[in-house]
């Protein structure tokens, strides 16, 4: 992963404003030297065609990605659309990384636990490490360094 070869990330969405969708990008942007390309576009709502048009648009966005990042709170809002996104990733052999609900208030559905490679907390390091691991197979061993003033 580099600026010239960013990880292509699709963040699950429902074609509507959602704080967890926006929060994912805040966490990704907070990490130094993490380069990604967002393949999701919730503002690109197809006109006409109903549910089939939405699914076609999602399929086009997802198939460009290397990983699906799924804030699990979206599942409670629209289980059918979220499960469809997971179906597409399964058909395209794209891994799913779940992110627990912010504040841990939403139970994680069994279907997400079964299909996701991992479900992580809202922690920028855990999210980025999960993306690297499941999208590119990069295992990052990071250590916290604590310096003590011995004077």
Domain extents in the chain: 7-136
CATH 1.10.3720.10 fits 7-136, yes or no: no
Report the pLDDT value the prediction gives residue 137, as an integer from 0 to 100.
Answer: 87
Residue located via tokens 């919730």: 42
- Per the document, the length of the chain is 151
Per-residue pLDDT tens listing for the chain (151 residues): 578 899 999 999 999 988 999 999 999 999 988 999 999 999 998 887 788 888 999 999 999 999 999 999 999 999 999 999 999 999 999 999 999 987 767 788 999 999 999 999 999 999 999 999 999 988 876 666 677 777 6
């Amino acid at each position: 992963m580099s600026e010239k070869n960013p990880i292509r990330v699709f963040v699950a969405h429902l074609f509507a404003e959602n704080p967890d969708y926006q929060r994912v990008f805040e966490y990704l942007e907070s990490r130094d030297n993490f380069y990604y390309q967002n393949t999701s576009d919730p503002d690109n709502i197809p006109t006409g065609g109903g549910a089939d048009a939405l699914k076609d648009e999602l399929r086009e966005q997802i198939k460009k990605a290397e990983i699906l990042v799924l804030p699990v709170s979206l599942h409670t809002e629209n289980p059918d659309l979220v499960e469809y996104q997971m179906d597409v990733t399964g058909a395209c052999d794209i891994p799913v990384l779940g992110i627990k609900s912010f504040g841990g208030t939403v139970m994680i559905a069994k279907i997400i636990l079964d299909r996701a490679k991992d479900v992580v907390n809202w922690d920028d390091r855990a999210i980025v490490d999960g993306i690297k691991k499941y999208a590119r197979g990069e295992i990052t061993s990071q250590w916290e360094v604590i310096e003590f003033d011995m004077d």
